[in-house]
Structure 1
Amino acid sequence: MQQNTFRLGDIQPGRNPRKYFDPVKMAEMVESVRQQGIIQPVLVRPLENGSHELVAGERRVRAAREAHGDDYEVPVVIRVMDEFEARSLALIENIQRDDMAPSEEAVSAAEIVGLCQGDRDEAARQLGWNRAMLDSRLALMNCSASVLEALNTRSIKLGHAELFAAFTKDQQDKLLPVVVKEGHSVADLKKVLERAACALSAAIFDKVDCAGCQHNSAAQAEMFGESIGTGSCTNRTCYNEKTEKQLEATATGLRDEYQTVRIVRPGDNHTRIQLVADGPKGVGSEQAKACYACQNFGAAVSGLPDSLGNVYKGQCFDTVCNMKKVAARIKSEKATEPATAKAATATGASKAVAPARNDKPGAAAPEATAVSESERVKAYRVALWRKALRRDIGANQELVRQYLIAIVATGQARCISETAFRAFWERLLDDKPPVSSFGKAADAAKAATPLAQENLIVAMLASAIEGVDVPYLTEMCRHHKLDLTKYWKLDKAFLDLITKSEMKVMADELGIRAAMGDDFKKVFAKSKPEVIEALLSVKDFDYDGKVLKVLKF
């Protein structure tokens, strides 16, 4: 990081989240800069084209431009950072200033939640807020543009905006002019919300039980039939509970198909993006194939008033990674443009074919092309390696001694699992090992039979295999040339860890699809438990000797 001065006109504008600049305060700053200049440097970052982009200090730059023009030499601090670091820093720098409008705080906070992959606790920590304040600000993200603008210009209070957020955007735009013109209080708007928020016509849950319910506002007049469509629920707690259950039921139904399924709430605007291969936001066809198997690929269920219960498939829940992949694709295409243009000229090509677009929200996503290495699959795989290695070595006393010596020689003796070894001791000697007395432990070992002593040495190695870290365990498996085909066969425990889409990839790899023939498609139209049962009971299929690539070391 270094300090310098740049001509104001040579600094490229950044992505300042602040939209509203108080005219009085800006006038005061312009006058201050006119008299004293800029004392505190602004923060910029170098770009690939040699120019510099503003990261923090937008108000100072605006004031200096008005007071002195583009030729003014402004003090700068240059810091090398990528686009995402710059965006995060700009957001946090602005949001921590006490004169930022709540609506602008909401927009900035939502972006930071996106940069944190939807982790609201981490976003709150970065912002220096408590979780309640973060959630309160993020709720404003469901406000319509006109409501946010009214909040920016202080035409309505924060309490109004927080209530507006519970309405659909159409309802907000109809109510806003009335609230502003007639000066309705927050309490007035709350009464309107209580009457309108639980309309049964908009409910996504089964309303059969609502027909004769005492909390149905239409029930007093008509207890059955069309009255349901025009009534409202006066028991908001019950209404919200039923809505949440329906949202969760919808999400549960998608979890057999996708690695990640989330119910998205107000403020989750930047936590997901439609994954597409082509177009301005495309990651490229090859990268897209890899993305389909990623743990951050899946579906979103809307918990927003305007789209309550809607399902959006083919979503990427790591927007930072997605943006980087898009940038990499664009950079790669630019690098190949000269060669492509030259080839086109040489062959007389005159017309380029536009790439296909697949960025329609909610479009069905392509199926997985690999079994993803989720945390659950990784844990299953490592447990398999440890178990197989213990069994393969345990019967060979010579190997046990050699490997135990190697483990101690490479500083891994500390990794011997005390819990595992004590369990082996208790099983072999039918007694608990002494906890702190060396003498008692030595006497107990001496009293053990030669066979029991040999088994305790095997137990030491087994305990070491249980305790070493994964890279060291992988090295042991490779050195030993461990044959997993002797210890693994497709089972329900593994199939429970993956989606139905990934099961198709697995079935191709093991040859199950070919063995099932025409029945394969019919089976996958069924529920996940039925698919698992069918995959484990294919007639005349030999499951032995087949190990998936995702389980190998």
Structure 2
Amino acid sequence: MQLQASIKVGSIFPGRNPRSYFDPSEMAELEESVKSKGVLQAILLRPRDVGRYEIVAGERRWRAAKKVFGDDYEIPALIRDLDDGEADEAALIENVQRANMSPTEEAEAAAKILGRCQGDRDEAARRLGWSRSTLDKRLALMNCSEKVRKALSERRIQLGHAELLAVVTRERQDAVLERLLSQSVLPTVVQFRGQLEQISRSLGSAIFDKGECAGCQHNSGNQQALFGEAISAGHCTHGACYDAKTEAVLEAKRVSLSDDYPTTRIVRPGENFTLLRLVADGDTGVGEEQAKACRACKNFGAAVSGVPGKLGNVYPDLCFDAACNAKKVALRIKAEKDKHKPETESAKEAGKKSGAATKQAAKAEAKVQDSQKVRDYRLEVWRKTLRRELMVDREKNLTVLIALSLSGNARHISDSKLTKALGSLMGQEYASFSLKTDEAARVVSMADEAIRDKMLMGLAASAADGVEEKTLVQLLKYLEIDIARHWKLCEDFLKLLTKSEIEAVCDEIGLKSSMGGAFAKAMSGKKDELIKLLLKVGSFTYEGKVPRSMRYSAE
């Protein structure tokens, strides 16, 4: 919904503006313009309470109008229904396009947009209308300390100065900034870069093996000995080499986590909104059942820090889908509020029936996004299951065959598979597409009744490989096929999972509790050994235990 209207200034309040600093001289100029011409360009609002509106974009124009004309002035506005994420995106884009926005303000809002894009920098850059390099530079500013950000927002330092400070650990930035601003003339960015290169790559804080650095000509300690220059020892002056060695260690750490988690990432400055700690309780908790289920989600994982000062630190048990996490938290909060609502007369009348429905709803909320590998595997299992059921039940087979024809899905019947099957039954070999219709009819007429009957049964079964997943699930549900009769926990399935996903599955089907203390010990070992142990637990009955990720009822 989008409406154009004139809204009284007093009915409007500031929103989630990425702009935090309003230059006094620029505001004075804007106020003079508004005083003489009024507000010409509409501001963007979203409705909140009845008769109240929140500013999405245009706070400077609103502030100027409020100061010049007061609360009764009617300002031109576009009113649009937006959620928080959409409002953030609209505010950032509008402010960027209008210019005069601080790079640090752009960085903070861009980090939120990146979170909405699940860490996809190319998509975030596309939405913002920026080049990828511009986005990367802005996000790097998120590693700047508060004092550095403020100095940049207030134009006391240049963007280049802030970009250089961003690669220094936060603990040292404020001291360097103070020395920078204390100089009678602000050094140029080029001059400042030369000064920083002497301190920005400390060998003492390097995370890689420094054995090769001892005799390296780029080790500042060796340079001091050779040239007698006043460069403190223990720093690398070959940035490319230092950075390459650091990246190699970060990547090795990330790869080492890939057997344990579905998603592993190296997290850079500015990516703080792309990941969240997965917790069951507290203000950001998703609930106990959902937290367990989330461990099997494709967006559950661990991060390796690529942030200066925290290089190489590993952060486990994270959610990399901020939007989904927010929805799960909202569902948990709603469920808790509903649970504590005072009973009305109608609720009392509903009694136990209402309570049962609430429990069922709570269970239904525990949903996750399975990895593509798991989705592909279970789809093949479902297709095989449907084929087997159709080949042993004539009545079901005929029903499905007619249903496929009526719904336009008969096109999925595979002529190549039927031709191969006919050749096998007839003791002949027929090339697919080589038989004309009359030739095919003569071949079939020579087959006995048993062969023709099998071929007829094969019509519907062959379509199981071609129908879309949605149609396949509809057939499985209609026929009430029990996956547990055709599948049980196996090596092929477990090999597709990471250790966190394996733990979630074992917890769900009861294998974890059946193993007791032995489960934790098994989880501490290698994945291949873990799988072997899980498939030979004598006290556990594997038949009939189908995890959520394999059940079509969950679709």
CA distance in 2, matches of 1:377, 1:486: 20
Structure 2 counterpart SS, 1:467 = coil
CA distance in 2, matches of 1:49, 1:188: 56
Find the partner of 1:304 among 298, 302, 307: 307
Aligned-pair CA distance for 1:190 = 2.5
Aligned-pair CA distance for 1:303 = 0.7
Tell me if the contact between 2:420 and 2:430 (Cα under 8 Å) persists in the aligned partners: no
Deviations 1:67-107 (A, max 9, x none): 11223222333222333322222222212223323222222
Aligned-pair CA distance for 1:19 = 2.3
Aligned-pair CA distance for 1:392 = 3.3
Tell me if the contact between 1:416 and 1:463 (Cα under 8 Å) persists in the aligned partners: yes
CA distance in 2, matches of 1:91, 1:418: 55
Partner of 2:498 in structure 1? 499
Q: Does residue 30 of the first structure (1) align with residue 31 of the second (2)?
A: yes
The aligned amino acid for 1:522 is K
CA distance in 2, matches of 1:419, 1:196: 69
Deviations 1:138-195 (A, max 9, x none): 2222222222223223333322222222211233222223334242222223333433
Tell me if the contact between 1:17 and 1:108 (Cα under 8 Å) persists in the aligned partners: yes
The aligned amino acid for 2:144 is C
Going from structure 1 to structure 2, the CA distance change for 1:418 and 1:114 (only over 3 Å counts) comes to farther
RMSD: 3.5
Tell me if the contact between 1:88 and 1:115 (Cα under 8 Å) persists in the aligned partners: no
Going from structure 1 to structure 2, the CA distance change for 1:518 and 1:291 (only over 3 Å counts) comes to closer
Structure 1 counterpart SS, 2:532 = helix
Partner of 2:151 in structure 1? 150
Partner of 2:320 in structure 1? 317
Find the partner of 1:255 among 254, 258, 264: 258
The aligned amino acid for 1:466 is D
Q: Does residue 179 of the first structure (1) align with residue 180 of the second (2)?
A: yes
Partner of 2:13 in structure 1? 12
CA distance in 2, matches of 1:67, 1:277: 50
Aligned-pair CA distance for 1:305 = 0.4
Deviations 1:8-27 (A, max 9, x none): 12212111111233434322
Matches within 5 A, 1:29-428: 29-48=30-49, 51-180=52-181, 181=183, 182-213=185-216, 215-218=218-221, 231-283=234-286, 288-327=291-330, 339=342, 373-394=370-391, 400-416=397-413
Aligned-pair CA distance for 1:254 = 3.1
CA distance in 1, matches of 2:486, 2:249: 42
Structure 1 counterpart SS, 2:265 = strand
The aligned amino acid for 2:14 is P
CA distance in 2, matches of 1:278, 1:391: 45
Structure 1 counterpart SS, 2:250 = helix
The aligned amino acid for 1:530 is E
The aligned amino acid for 1:147 is V
CA distance in 2, matches of 1:326, 1:111: 18
CA distance in 1, matches of 2:419, 2:165: 62
Structure 1 counterpart SS, 2:98 = coil
The two structures have a TM-score, normalised by structure 1, of 0.81
Structure 1 counterpart SS, 2:520 = helix
The aligned amino acid for 1:8 is V
Structure 2 counterpart SS, 1:6 = strand
The aligned amino acid for 2:401 is L
Partner of 2:353 in structure 1? none
Deviations 1:230-280 (A, max 9, x none): 633444333323322322232233334434332211221211223344444
Structure 2 counterpart SS, 1:378 = helix
CA distance in 2, matches of 1:418, 1:306: 63
Partner of 2:439 in structure 1? 443
Aligned-pair CA distance for 1:204 = 1.6
Tell me if the contact between 1:434 and 1:441 (Cα under 8 Å) persists in the aligned partners: no
Partner of 1:519 in structure 2? 518
Partner of 1:344 in structure 2? none
Structure 2 counterpart SS, 1:245 = helix
CA distance in 2, matches of 1:70, 1:514: 65
Deviation larger for 413-422 or 194-203: 413-422
Which blocks of at least 5 consecutive residues in structure 1 are unaligned? 223-228, 341-368
Structure 2 counterpart SS, 1:201 = coil
The aligned amino acid for 2:18 is P
Tell me if the contact between 2:385 and 2:486 (Cα under 8 Å) persists in the aligned partners: yes
Which blocks of at least 5 consecutive residues in structure 2 are unaligned? 226-231, 344-365
Q: What is the percent sequence identity of the aligned residues?
A: 48
